[in-house]
Amino acid sequence: MGRRIGVALAIGLYFWMLGASAAAEPQVTLRAGKGDNPNHALAREFAATINRTGSGAPRVLVEESQGSVQNVIDAARERTPSLFTAPPNVIVEARRGDKPYGKNPRYQDVRALFPIPFQTMHWVVRQDSQVTSFAELAGKPFIPGTRGSFGERQTAALIKTLGLENKLQLIDIDSAGAPQALKSNQVIGFAVSGAYPIGALKSLAGEVPLRILSLTPDQQKQLLASDGTTVAMTIPKGTYPGIDEDVATVALPAGVYTTRRMSESEAYRITKAFWTGRAALAEISPTWQVVTPAWLAVLGAQLHPGALKYYREAGIKVPPASHK
């Protein structure tokens, strides 16, 4: 009986020690928008990679948030440093004190760690529609994107930039129904944004021959000038079945940020874990294949000293503005 009690106590002590160890494990919160936000899905993917055994980084706990604006506001207020996702323009607007941020010197403390896949515009049409340019969309049924989304806003900007107002037959339906509407020939195309390759679009291209409309250099320049939040992007040929030429488009950048209150050691380990695990992450989710250190140039904030330390050790050239 005494031996059994001793074994039971030993087992209980073992599991108590495991629990205490897990509780003591360093953790950091990552705020990444609501559950249906594209950046939230991306955050969960790379958190899973960082959290794998042996990464050396603190455990990353992904939380839903009210969006990028609230992420930045919360980051300026909090005592314990966290991580958050945001597009660069939000950081710039907060530092200027634009509404709804107001004047707060702590916005100057925001620092970048690394980029995540950009939300890239795809203007998709059926190949058999014979539409090869945006002007040829005139008079044809087209879905401009989910109401209120980045895709819809960019489509509206494109229409205005190209002088196509009142010339397109825009169809307002839920984005989830767009692929079926295209397959049944109810519409000739739709707009969608996402980190390429978009899995659902790749599947659709395997069923219906598609074309992704490409901006001319002048159209791309005009569209970028009309909206300071986007950058030029090229979807390489072969990304989707039947797309045999590069597609010139625009994209909304995004990155993972923290503040200067995060320790150099913690920021270093998180940044290193991301880049050393990126190849494995890309095998699971191909959207990560396109992420490169060159994207650091558009993050809109200086790099955290810990992140900068990693890039220098890894021999990665960083833009001068990232480490002033």
- pLDDT for the residue numbered 6: 45
Smallest CA-to-CA distance from 252 within 98, 172, 149 is with 149
Report which residue type is found at 246: D
What are the residue ranges in the chain where pLDDT is below 70? 1-25, 53, 321-324
Predicted TM-score (pTM) of this structure: 0.86
Smallest CA-to-CA distance from 211 within 289, 291, 136 is with 136
Q: How far apart are CA 309 and CA 217, in angstroms?
A: 37
Report which residue type is found at 134: F
Secondary structure tally for the chain: helices H, strands E = 10, 12
Distance of CA 178 to the CA centre of its chain: 22
Contact 165, 227 (CB under 8 A): no
Report which residue type is found at 305: P
Contact 123, 133 (CB under 8 A): no
Q: How far apart are CA 232 and CA 116, in angstroms?
A: 16
Q: How far apart are CA 61 and CA 202, in angstroms?
A: 30
- pLDDT for the residue numbered 3: 46
- pLDDT for the residue numbered 79: 84
Domains, the chain: 25-117+254-323 (3.40.190.10), 119-252 (3.40.190.10)
Radius of gyration of the chain (CA): 23
- pLDDT for the residue numbered 324: 57
Beta strands in 247-286 (DSSP E): 247-252, 255-259
